[in-house]
């Protein structure tokens, strides 16, 4: 591990390689034998589980229930919502046969041509179609509404260019799908859930985000409005970290989902969908980590405190271990996740490098001199500050540090994000900031898809969002010079 850490690419030298090295060497994930897919290793999955549990509790607090819908979707379902099928057609994996057989010509196992499906099946890229086909059986009257369902699942989108956590052919996520009596209720739901995502990102991931509307060209396929949380990574690129969609009545009309309203008249149901994925793991890494390894917010760290004995011989180990057991019991009583590492086959320096790489928030080391003096060495991962502190009051001190570290990680990311929002008023300024600084660029846009596409083709920058707090401000589009009534946020993104 210590040797691997020395080989960690520096972020300033090659940010992409630094990211990939960090994911693999810290034990979060690795590429699998299936092209574009990943294996999430136990340490990485432990972080995802903490995200899952926190979000799941937040969903249930807002009245949602978990359900599960099929992985396979009849191909005909996708053709019912034109924008939806157009948005996902190029990424769909299709099941055409249901059986293999031994080749009579000795060519091994082949697809049995006699086992062709009557209707081909799409491996779930998202579940709106199968869910709305199901909701048709659940909804008859306004009394059946609202339906507030979420599912935790895997999805497949056949990406050509993949990167661990950020963009893989298969990934884990949650997707909420709700049905409502009125447009207003559905719009309120979409806003409520994007704010749940904002709260989770900022309070758990220590990730500051900007909430806003996607431009029409960047909306989810089949949505009337898409709300997003946009984060900024340390290389100045944006990352869409969660979305919430107001679907209007599009899917209800596509699947003929009607209800008898309070006046007894049939009306189409109003809908939302919303989701976050294991892409949040990528956000967590790129927003906080450094050239020494991961920097994990305490709320999501699988191990919050690691205790390492420093000793020579079994007698010193036994004494150090007894004291560390006592400290660990006190920390666990405070609800902290604690590990004592008394392995005797690696040096203490190896352990220090390993836990730095893995982003453990606090490291405590106890040697013979500490036992004699009633002290212990404490190291914070977020600042790498090292100090010798009294054992007396240690448990309370470390428990308080968890909140302080969580806040410090968020504040550092927020200060960086805020320093990387630049207002520009001309095309030359736009290009200069994009090339030489990066980050979010606040600029006027004439509101047309044509201009948005032209800017993307010229610079690879896209409109990340129209912020919720954007104010009316008269100006001229940076690209066309046409009138504009508010600024939007541009950035290059993942």
Q: Go through the domains of the chain in sequence order and give each one's CATH number.
A: 2-73+126-288 (3.30.930.10), 305-416 (3.40.50.800), 421-491 (3.30.110.30)
Q: What is the CA radius of gyration of the chain?
A: 26
d(CA 478, CA 455): 10
Strand ranges in 67-223 using DSSP code E only, listed in sequence order:
72-74, 93-97, 100-102, 109-111, 116-123, 147-156, 170-180, 210-213
Question: HSE on the CB side for 67, CA within 13 Å?
Answer: 16
Helix (H, G, I), strand (E, B) or coil at 293: strand
Number of H helices, E strands in the chain: 15, 27
What letter would DSSP give residue 385? Answer: -
Going edge to edge, which strands form the sheet with 421-423?
65-66, 147-156, 170-180, 270-277, 238-248, 225-232, 210-213, 462-467, 487-491, 440-444, 421-423
Model pTM score: 0.95
The tens-digit pLDDT sequence of the chain (494 residues) is: 444 555 899 999 999 999 999 999 999 999 999 999 999 999 999 999 999 999 999 999 999 999 999 999 999 998 888 788 788 889 999 999 999 999 888 889 999 999 999 999 999 999 999 999 999 999 999 999 999 999 999 999 998 889 999 999 999 999 999 999 999 999 999 999 999 999 999 999 999 999 999 999 999 999 999 999 999 999 999 999 999 999 999 999 999 999 999 999 999 999 999 999 999 999 999 999 999 999 999 999 999 999 999 999 999 999 999 999 999 999 999 999 999 999 999 999 999 999 999 999 999 999 999 999 999 999 999 999 999 999 999 999 999 999 999 999 999 999 999 999 999 999 999 999 999 999 999 999 999 999 999 999 999 999 999 999 999 999 999 999 999 999 999 999 99
């Amino acid at each position: 591990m210590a040797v691997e850490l020395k080989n960690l690419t520096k972020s300033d030298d090659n940010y992409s390689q630094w990211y990939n090295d960090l994911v693999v060497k810290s034990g979060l994930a690795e590429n699998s034998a299936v092209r574009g897919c990943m294996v999430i290793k136990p340490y990485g999955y432990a972080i995802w589980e903490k995200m899952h549990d926190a979000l799941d509790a937040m969903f249930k607090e807002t009245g949602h229930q978990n359900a599960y819908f099929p992985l396979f979707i009849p191909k005909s379902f996708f053709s019912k919502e034109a924008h939806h099928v157009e948005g996902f057609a190029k990424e769909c994996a299709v099941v055409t046969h249901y059986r293999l057989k031994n080749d009579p010509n000795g060519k091994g196992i082949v697809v049995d041509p006699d086992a062709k499906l009557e209707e081909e099946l799409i491996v779930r890229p998202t579940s709106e179609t199968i869910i709305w086909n199901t909701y048709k059986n659940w909804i008859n009257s306004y009394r059946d509404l609202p339906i507030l369902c979420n599912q935790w699942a895997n999805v497949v989108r056949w990406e050509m260019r993949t990167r661990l956590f950020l963009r893989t052919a298969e990934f884990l996520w949650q997707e909420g799908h709700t049905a409502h009596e009125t447009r207003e209720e559905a719009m309120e739901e979409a806003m409520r859930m994007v704010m749940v995502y904002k709260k989770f990102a900022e309070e758990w991931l220590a990730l500051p985000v900007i909430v806003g509307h996607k431009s029409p060209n960047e909306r989810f396929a089949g949505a009337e409005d898409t709300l997003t949380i946009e984060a900024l990574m340390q290389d100045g690129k944006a990352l869409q970290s969660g979305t919430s969609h107001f679907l209007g009545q599009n899917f209800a009309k596509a699947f003929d989902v009607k209800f008898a309203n309070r006046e007894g008249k049939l009306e189409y149901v109003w809908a939302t969908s919303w989701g976050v994925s294991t892409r949040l793991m990528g956000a967590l890494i790129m927003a906080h980590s450094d050239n020494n390894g991961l920097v994990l917010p305490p709320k999501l760290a699988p191990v919050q405190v690691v205790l390492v004995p420093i000793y020579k011989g079994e007698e010193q180990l036994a004494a150090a271990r007894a004291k560390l057991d006592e400290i660990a019991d006190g920390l666990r009583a405070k609800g902290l996740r604690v590990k004592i590492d008394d392995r005797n086959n690696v040096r203490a320096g190896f352990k220090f490098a390993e836990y730095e790489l893995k982003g453990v928030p606090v490291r405590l080391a106890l040697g013979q001199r500490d036992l004699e003096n009633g002290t212990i060495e404490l190291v914070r991962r977020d600042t790498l500050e090292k100090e010798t502190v009294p054992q007396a009051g240690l448990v309370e001190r470390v428990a308080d540090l968890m909140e302080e570290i969580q806040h410090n990680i968020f504040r550092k990311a927020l200060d960086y994000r805020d320093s990387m929002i630049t207002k520009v008023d001309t095309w030359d300024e736009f290009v200069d900031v994009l090339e030489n600084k990066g980050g979010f660029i606040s600029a006027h846009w004439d509101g047309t898809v044509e201009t948005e596409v032209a800017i993307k083709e010229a610079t690879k920058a896209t409109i990340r969002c129209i912020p919720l707090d954007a104010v009316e401000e008269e100006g001229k589009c940076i690209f066309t010079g046409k009138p504009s009534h508010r600024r939007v946020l541009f950035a290059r993104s993942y």
